[in-house]
Amino acid sequence: MHLTLEFGGGLELLLEKSTKVHKVDVQPRDGEDKATMKGLLSWVKSNLIKERPEMFIKDDSVRPGVLVLINDCDWELCGGLDAELEDKDVVVFISTLHGG
């Protein structure tokens, strides 16, 4: 399943060469029919995050202060960790900014 993942608000600093946009191919986890956000988070943690994983993940979810958007919609409105992903979905992880 092809997904576009985007990281912003400083989260990109945790990835190789601080790349913001990643086109990836992710499969559902063993025993699951569809890929879920929960599976995607652990995939991102093992495959994309290069440093300080605690700046991305806390317990089983994203750390406080990170918004997750599935096709430009807050994941809280799509089922959160249980949200099911479709081919060609765009998932954005963005850290909230405080500066001004």
Residues that bind other proteins (CB under 8 A): 8-10, 20, 52, 54-55, 63-67, 69, 72-74, 76-77, 92, 94-100
Q: Which is nearer to other proteins, 20 or 27 (CB)?
A: 20
Non-local (6+) Cβ contacts of 5 within 8 A are: 21, 22, 23, 24, 44, 48, 90, 91, 92, 93
Q: Return the percent helix, strand and coil in the chain, to nearest 5.
A: 25, 35, 40
In whole angstroms, the minimum distance from the beta carbon of 23 to other proteins comes to 15
In whole angstroms, the minimum distance from the beta carbon of 64 to other proteins comes to 4
Q: Which is nearer to other proteins, 33 or 59 (CB)?
A: 59
In whole angstroms, the minimum distance from the beta carbon of 26 to other proteins comes to 21
The two beta strands, 2-8 and 66-70, are unpaired
In whole angstroms, the minimum distance from the beta carbon of 31 to other proteins comes to 30
